[in-house]
Amino acid sequence: MFTYPGNIHIHSCFSDGSGNLGQIAADASTAGLSYVIICDHETLAGFPEEAIYNDVVLLVGSEINSKHNHYLALASDQQVDSDDDNPQRVIDQVREAGGLGFIAHPFDRGTKYIEKGKAYPWNCWPVFNFHGIEIWNFSSHWRGLRQPLFQILYWFFINRNAAMKGPPRRLLRLWDCYNIHGHRTVGIGGSDAHAYLYRSGFFHITIFTYRYTFKTINTYIVLKEELKRDFTGAKKQITGALHDGCCYISFDSLHPGKDFSYYASTGGKVFCMGGEMHYHEGITLHIKTPGRRPLIRLIKNGKLISENAGVTLEYNPTGPGVYRVEVYHRTGIGRLRPWIYSNPIYIKPTAKVK
């Protein structure tokens, strides 16, 4: 298996980001990424610039809707119109256009320090037929901090990693709920990078540069073969992995998640994340993670069933379920910080013999 880091949900100067696609690709290359996906607001203006830049595959999707119910549409060259108050229509149209749609930052919440508390949550439930959910969004997380200003400034200037408390628990529950009830839902991470340039008189500062943001919340794809060097082939592999859920989210500022692996084996066959099989005896789940004294948690149907304070965990499922992994990174002073979130492996009930 081959693992490649990428950054999804990036805004460029085609909407409210500050960089052009060439600059973004250059920063992604410096950050060691293999792919990036641009998601400008309601435009595919960057689409003609999709290409491999040096060693980075740059893909272009869009972010649909503005007031609320933001929706990422990837892997399609057709721009779907916004419909803020009828997001199911947007979901259906993206699917009809052959795209992969992801609900963006569904529990976004505002803070009085930015835009007078304005937030961009998903406020229309339930919806169906979307492909996945952005489980952890870097910028949305920072925008939603409601601690006293001195605390936020301390985090921003001194210890940014400490501000990242993991995806909202209720979002993880919602994700599990869809998966448990048979609605396969792929989880991705998003940066929502804007590299916003703040100016006041002679003072100007870029809030979270692209280069910095590309080392925060990344989505790693896992491939059976090496990433192809031709653009069409590489695009197919990347969108295929995101389609299949053969991917995981890592907060790379803590430690790069590159050497993480999670798969199931049975009878000489191997199933990656997103894989499905019927339950039988003899299935083993294998988890391996980088890091020093991490904590691995195996979650079945939303509940913790096994954990290990080490770099490996093996588990023999005793029944069907949706099995996913969380890994916590241990800091130098022993604190555990949320780090890696895998997509599930789906073990279905034993097939009935007629």
| CB closer to Zn ion out of 117 and 319 | 117
Q: What CA–CA distance (Å, rounded) separates 36 from 51? A: 11
Q: Vertex 76, ends 176 and 234: CA angle to 5°?
A: 85
CA distance 39 to 113: 25
Measured from the CB atom, the residue of 27 and 134 that comes closer to Zn ion is: 134
Does residue number 192 form part of the binding site for Zn ion (CB under 5 A)? yes
Rg (alpha carbons) of the chain, rounded to whole number: 20
Of 47 and 323, the one with the shorter C-beta distance to Zn ion is 47
Residue nearest to Zn ion (CB): 70
Total of chain residues touching Zn ion, rule CB under 5 A: 4
Q: Which stretch binds Zn ion (CB under 5 A): 23-31, 51-59, 188-196, 276-284?
A: 188-196
SS3 161: helix
Q: Is 70 in the site for Zn ion (CB under 5 A)?
A: yes
121/338 with CB nearer Zn ion = 121
Give the residue among 354, 270, 277 at the shortest CA–CA distance from 319: 277
Least distance to Zn ion, CB of residue 31, Å: 19
Subset of residues 95 to 134 that bind Zn ion, contact rule: CB under 5 A: 104
Q: Copy the structure tokens of residue 333.
A: 């002073």
Q: How far is the CB of 191 from Zn ion (least distance, A)?
A: 9
The Cα–Cα gap between 102 and 132 comes to 5
Q: Within a 13 Å sphere around the CA of 126, how many CA atoms are in the beta-carbon half?
A: 8
Residues in contact with Zn ion, shown as a per-residue x/- string from 25 to 64 under the rule CB under 5 A: --------------------------------------x-
Query: Can you tell me the distance from the alpha carbon of 339 to that of 327, in angstroms, rounded to the nearest whole number?
Result: 6
Which range touches Zn ion (CB under 5 A), out of 192-200, 242-250, 266-274, 340-348?
A: 192-200
Residue 194 interacts with Zn ion (CB under 5 A)?
no
CA–CA dist 274, 345 (Å, integer):
5
Q: How far is the CB of 70 from Zn ion (least distance, A)?
A: 4
Nearest residue (CB) to Zn ion, 82 versus 266: 82
- Shortest gap between Cβ of 102 and Zn ion (angstroms)? 11
- b/e code 121-136 from CB counts within 10 Å (16+ = b): bbeeeebeebbbbbbb
Q: Hey, which residues does 233 pair with through a beta bridge? A: none
Looking at the Cβ atoms of 105 and 337, the one nearer to Zn ion is 105
Residue ranges that bind Zn ion, judged by CB under 5 A: 63, 70, 104, 192
